[in-house]
């Protein structure tokens, strides 16, 4: 009897706490509405002709700082990342009261890029699928969408070259990064027997990420690279004999059954995505910077580009090469490193690189991924 009363009291305590949480969330939402009103009033008072549509409500560095403080002050029993995910959704819903964000991503629905978009912006953002990475860039450049999300590298398969190539000609800036654990499954329409499958479809990166598993279990079956895992899932749902390699979101969206789960060759398979926008992002206190740089084709050229980072004790997080479009057998380097372009030490390194390179293009500084 005592245990029953104790359980009822704990449940009553939970109900009371839920009521307090709900009231505080709505109080926070009211503050977000006040922020929107202040920004709109300031825009109206300026002489620069800034319209309401041009007012910037989303601040990547501010959101990163808030989430970092949430993680730092968390005392459990929930872990910091779990609490930060909850607050991400609260912040997403509050931001939507100011103005819902339109975010382009590499579609169709059900892709990992959509999952990365939701992870970064929350469910209140309006996700707008695009058929190609080029189209994602175009949507943001034209102002049709506020931001875009594109894949840039996988932990087992390396860089996504098409994304890097788009940065060569685009004026867009990198506004953030997202890391997403990739779980791949073999999916088919309900009722499909293994003997009925004649073709396995997926994005070429996904096929590569589970190559060993497919070689072992389906060595003689045709594999077809398609534009995205979401497209492969759509094909599996509509075309008899087609199986798809895709994730949980695609399986749920297209109502597919899992013939095999987690077929990726490496358990820690992770893809990194970049958030692209039109504005530069101020320092958050924990930032990365990406640049594209090209030097003259001579011995020691790469060493000369990297030496200023060594002397400045700046940690490089990524370096990759792409063929130059202007000179045969010449290359441009995609370099990422810790720090912000506004940092005095980074600014000095950029000045030195500019003197010794034939092309230097900063792609932006942005908060490092927290979740």
Q: Read off the pLDDT of residues 161-206 as tens digits, 9 standing for 90 and up.
A: 889 999 998 999 999 999 999 999 999 999 999 999 999 999 998 9
pLDDT at 42 over 90: no
Q: Read off the pLDDT of residues 349-358 as tens digits, 9 standing for 90 and up.
A: 999 999 888 8
Note the pLDDT of residue 181. Answer: 94
Query: Residue 282: CA atoms inside 13 Å, Cβ hemisphere, count?
Result: 6
Q: Which residue carries 């009103």 as its tokens?
A: 37
**C-alpha to C-alpha distances, 311 to 24, 108, 238, 338, 349, nearest whole angstrom:** 49, 45, 58, 14, 9
Query: What would the mean pLDDT of 261-273 be, rounded to a whole number?
Result: 93
Residue 110: how many other CB atoms lie within 10 Å: 27
Note the pLDDT of residue 47. Answer: 62
Q: Read off the pLDDT of residues 203-259 as tens digits, 9 standing for 90 and up.
A: 998 999 999 999 999 999 999 999 889 999 999 999 999 999 999 999 999 999 999
Task: State the average pLDDT for the chain.
Answer: 92
Query: What would the mean pLDDT of 31-43 be, rounded to a whole number?
Result: 89
Confidence of residue 365 (pLDDT cuts 50, 70, 90): very high
Note the pLDDT of residue 48. Answer: 66
Note the pLDDT of residue 40. Answer: 87
Sheet strands (E) in 54-145: 102-106, 126-130
Note the pLDDT of residue 367. Answer: 98
Percent with pLDDT over 90 in the chain: 77
Measured between alpha carbons, how far is 264 from 160 in angstroms, rounded to an integer? 18
**C-alpha to C-alpha distances, 228 to 35, 127, 246, 247, 262, nearest whole angstrom:** 39, 16, 9, 11, 18
Q: Read off the pLDDT of residues 124-165 as tens digits, 9 standing for 90 and up.
A: 999 999 999 999 999 999 999 999 999 999 988 888 888 999
CB-CB contact of 346 with 289 (8 Å): yes
Task: Say whether 299 sits in a helix, a strand or coil.
Answer: coil
Measured between alpha carbons, how far is 65 from 56 in angstroms, rounded to an integer? 17
pLDDT at 46 over 80: no
Residue 104's beta-bridge partner residues?
Answer: 128, 148
Query: What would the mean pLDDT of 271-292 be, rounded to a whole number?
Result: 97
Confidence of residue 56 (pLDDT cuts 50, 70, 90): confident
Q: Please tell me which residue, 326 or 14, carries the higher pLDDT value.
A: 14
Note the pLDDT of residue 156. Answer: 82
pLDDT at 51 over 80: no
Query: What would the mean pLDDT of 315-323 be, rounded to a whole number?
Result: 91
Query: What would the mean pLDDT of 78-94 be, rounded to a whole number?
Result: 96
Query: Residue 119: CA atoms inside 13 Å, Cβ hemisphere, count?
Result: 24
Measured between alpha carbons, how far is 227 from 292 in angstroms, rounded to an integer? 26
Where residue 346 falls (left for φ over 0; alpha for ψ -120 to 50; beta otherwise) is alpha
Note the pLDDT of residue 49. Answer: 62
Note the pLDDT of residue 4. Answer: 73
Residue 190, phi then psi, degrees to nearest 5: -55, 135
Put simply, whether the predicted model's pTM sits higher than 0.75 gets the answer: yes
């Amino acid at each position: 009897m005592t245990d029953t009363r104790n359980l009822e009291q704990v449940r009553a305590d939970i109900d009371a706490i839920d009521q307090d949480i709900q009231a505080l969330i709505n109080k926070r939402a009211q503050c977000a509405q006040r922020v929107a009103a202040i920004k709109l009033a300031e825009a109206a008072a300026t002489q620069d002709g800034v319209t309401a549509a041009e007012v910037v409500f989303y601040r990547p560095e501010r959101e990163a700082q808030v989430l970092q403080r949430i993680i730092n002050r968390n005392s459990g029993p929930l872990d910091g990342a779990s609490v930060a995910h909850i607050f991400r959704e609260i912040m997403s819903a509050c931001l939507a009261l100011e103005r819902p964000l339109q975010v382009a991503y590499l579609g169709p629905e059900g892709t990992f890029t959509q999952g990365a978009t939701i992870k970064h912006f929350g469910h209140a953002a309006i996700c707008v699928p695009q058929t190609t990475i080029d189209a994602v860039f175009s949507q943001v450049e034209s102002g049709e969408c506020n931001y875009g999300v594109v894949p840039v590298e996988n932990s087992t398969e390396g860089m996504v070259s098409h994304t890097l190539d788009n940065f060569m000609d685009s004026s867009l800036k990198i506004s953030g990064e997202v890391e997403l654990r990739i779980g791949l499954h073999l999916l088919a329409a309900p009722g499909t027997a293994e003997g009925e499958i004649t073709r396995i479809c997926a994005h070429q990166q996904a096929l590569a990420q589970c190559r060993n598993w497919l070689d072992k279990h389906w060595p003689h079956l045709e594999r077809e690279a398609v534009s995205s895992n979401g497209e492969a899932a759509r094909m599996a749902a509509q075309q008899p004999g087609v199986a798809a390699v895709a994730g949980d979101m695609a399986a749920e969206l297209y109502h597919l059954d899992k013939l095999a789960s987690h077929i990726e060759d490496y358990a820690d398979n992770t893809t990194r995505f970049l958030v692209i926008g039109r504005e530069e992002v101020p320092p958050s206190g924990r930032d990365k910077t990406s640049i594209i740089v090209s030097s003259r084709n001579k011995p020691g050229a790469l060493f000369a580009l990297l030496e200023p980072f060594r002397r400045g004790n700046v940690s490089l997080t990524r370096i990759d090469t792409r063929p130059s479009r202007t000179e045969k057998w010449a290359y441009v380097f995609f370099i990422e490193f810790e720090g912000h372009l506004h940092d005095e030490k980074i600014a000095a390194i950029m000045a030195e690189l500019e003197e010794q390179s034939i092309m230097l293009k900063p792609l932006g500084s942005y908060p490092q991924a927290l979740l």
